[in-house]
Each structure stands twice: as structure tokens, then as C-alpha cells.
Amino acid sequence: MLAALHWRGAQDDERALATAWRAAAAAGTALAYAPRLRMLEQVLEIWDRVPGPARPAGLDHVGLHIAVARGDDETAERTLDELRSLPAGVQAESQRLHVLARLEVEARLASGDLAGALDAGRAALIRGRPADPRYLWPLLAAAMCACAEASAVSLPPESCDPGRLRKDLELRAGSADRPGPLHEAWAATFAAEAARADGRHDLAGWDAAASAWAALAQPQEEAYALLRAASAASAAADRDGAAVRLRRAADLAGRLGARPLLEQIGSLARRARVGLPSGPGQRGPSDEAAPLGLTERELEVLRLVAAGRSNRDIATELFISPKTASVHVSNILGKLGVGSRGEAAAVAYRQHLLDDG
């Protein structure tokens, strides 16, 4: 917990931030313990201005983490390409391999590339044995999230089998050490994701994960767990319980500036008919999305989403930028009142939105 204490005490002092980073990097918990995205951004901005040791290896992953959390698909893809270009021996180092694999899974999920997310998780399991639990647990949770997202959609036949991957992930998790509260929090998230991949709404599991992350002062992970807990509460017809969790999650995600997470929270709030306080990137109850109202371009994008295409694939086919494709997808999810690309595809087929003529 020493690294966490350094982070919490750093505030906005440059030397304190640099010291916090060194402590966290030495402990292998830099991404795990930094409580604010802005704090990570500040580390990137000030590192070269503060005297000290050479830049630690883990710093090259921070930009990717920020891009994924902020919803900046173009920067995330560019940074992934840069990290993949590192020498094979460097990439094979335990810290780099598992941190990069986790972030690649998350980036693929954010762009809607479920097959790519599953493949990244599978490849990391094959290459990364044995693994330090500091790096393994976040990867296991991210890969299980990919399995959960993929469980409701049809994937290309050549892609990784999410059912098989889920079993492998559970086997690896069963033998992984949990030496501290950070590992316990990731394990709680992993278990709740496994239930979701199995089609179950584990309200108690997600509440436990949210409490674990709150105790560690990790708002991004806490907000995500609260979102899933709210979804489980809504499925159980507990609208009040869903509302309490969604409002807390929206507050956390809004303060972080985590746009994709905030969009998911807003989408669930609209479907559950829960009003959220106004804030950056949030919409009030009067802005409830209509089920249809898609433009011609959005219908084109939706057709490609339903076919399992990533934002980059959509951009290439429609001669637009990946960022523009991402905006179209976000608008489609909002108009259809759904929280994922798989749900959007299901609505499209169920309501015959893609039927010709």
C-alpha cells in the first residue's frame, strides 16, 4: 500500500508526483494505484522537467491507458502500434507483456473489436506463464470482460472461442496468488465478470467489487463496478437500487473525464428511466433517447457494427476517420438506448432496421 499512499499525498506538486511515480513503478503498481487520470497526465507532462532517474519502463503504457479511458481511439491505436514495434525481447518482459495485453484487450473492446480483444487475451495467456499477480489479475479481468461482451453476439468462425477462453481464464485465476487488497479487488471484478459471461446478473458480486475499489480510492474501477451492479439491480426490477448506483458511477466517471464509461452509464440510465444530475458529458432525463431516428449514415455504420466490424474497419469502408466512426457508434447506442455494440446489433435485427426495401 506504500505506493498508494504516495499517490494520494502527491496532489499537484511536481516533485511529489515524480516521487509517487517512482514508488509506484518500483512496486509494479503505477497504473493500478494512480487515483486520477489527470494525475497520470501530469506525470507524462512533468517527467522530463523533474531531476531523477531515467524514465521507468512502465511509463510507455500510461499514454495508452489514458487514451482508452478518454475514448480517444486514434491515439490508442497509434500508441498500440508503437508499443508493438518494441523489440520482441522487451515485449516479453513480464510487466510489459501483461500490462500491454490488458490495455490491448481494453482498447479492442472500446473500439468494438471483440474478436481482437479475445485474441489478445488468448495470446497473453499462452505467452505469459508464469506471471506476477500484479500484472496477471488486471489482464484476467479484462479478458473475462471480453468473454462477457462476446457471449451475446456471433463472432467470425476464425476468432477465439469465448467459452473456451473463459474456462482457461478461470483455471488461471484459480491458481493465481492474491497477496494484497489490490489483487482481491481484481479477483472480485473477475468473478463478477465470469458470472456476466455465464449470463448471470451478480449484484452482490459487483457490489463487493465496487466496495473493494472504493476502499483503494480507485474511482475508474469503482465506477465500472457500480455500472454493472446497477445493471444487475435493474434486471431485478430494483429501480431505486439502480438509480443510487448509477448516480454514484456518473459522478465518478464525470470527474475522471472517462467518456466511454460515462456514455455506458447514461445509456443504462435512459433504459432504466433513471435521471442523472447534469454534468460534463451527462444528459438529463428530458434528453431520453428515441429508439429510432437514425440518419442514413448511422444506418450504414449500424450495418457494419452488426457485421462485427471495428471502428477502424468502419472508417476504412466508409472513407471516414476512426474518430468519426467512434462518434457515429456512440450516437447509435444513444438513439437505440443500448449500452454495447452487441445490444445495438440485436435491436437492429429485432426491429428490422437493416432490412432492404
Q: Compute the distance between CA of residue 277 and CA of residue 273 in angstroms, rounded to an integer.
A: 13
CATH assignment of 296-350, among 3.30.479.30, 1.10.3210.10, 3.30.43.10, 1.10.10.10: 1.10.10.10
Report in angstroms the alpha-carbon separations of 160 from 3, 105, 123, 140, 174.
Answer: 37, 13, 10, 15, 21
216, 3, 96, 263 alpha-carbon torsion, rounded to 10°: 30
Better-predicted residue by pLDDT, 252 or 63: 252
* 258, pLDDT greater than 80: yes
Instruction: Give the CB-side neighbour count of residue 155, counting CA atoms within 13 A.
Output: 22
Residue 184 is predicted with a pLDDT of 96
Neighbours of 51 (CB within 10 A): 6
Model confidence pLDDT, tens digit, residues 10-62: 444 555 555 555 554 444 444 444 445 555 665 555 555 555 555 555 566 67
The pTM for the full model equals 0.69
Residue 34 is predicted with a pLDDT of 47
Q: 8-22 as b/e, with b when 16 or more CB fall inside 10 Å? A: eebeeeeeebbbbbb
Residue of 103, 21, 65 whose CA lies nearest to 258: 65
Q: Compute the distance between CA of residue 178 and CA of residue 187 in angstroms, rounded to an integer.
A: 8
Q: Compute the distance between CA of residue 189 and CA of residue 202 in angstroms, rounded to an integer.
A: 11
What are the domain boundaries of the chain? 1-84, 86-200, 211-288, 296-350
At residue 85, φ and ψ (nearest 5 deg) are -85, -5
Model confidence pLDDT, tens digit, residues 74-113: 777 887 777 777 666 555 565 667 878 888 898 888 877 8
Q: Compute the distance between CA of residue 189 and CA of residue 232 in angstroms, rounded to an integer.
A: 14
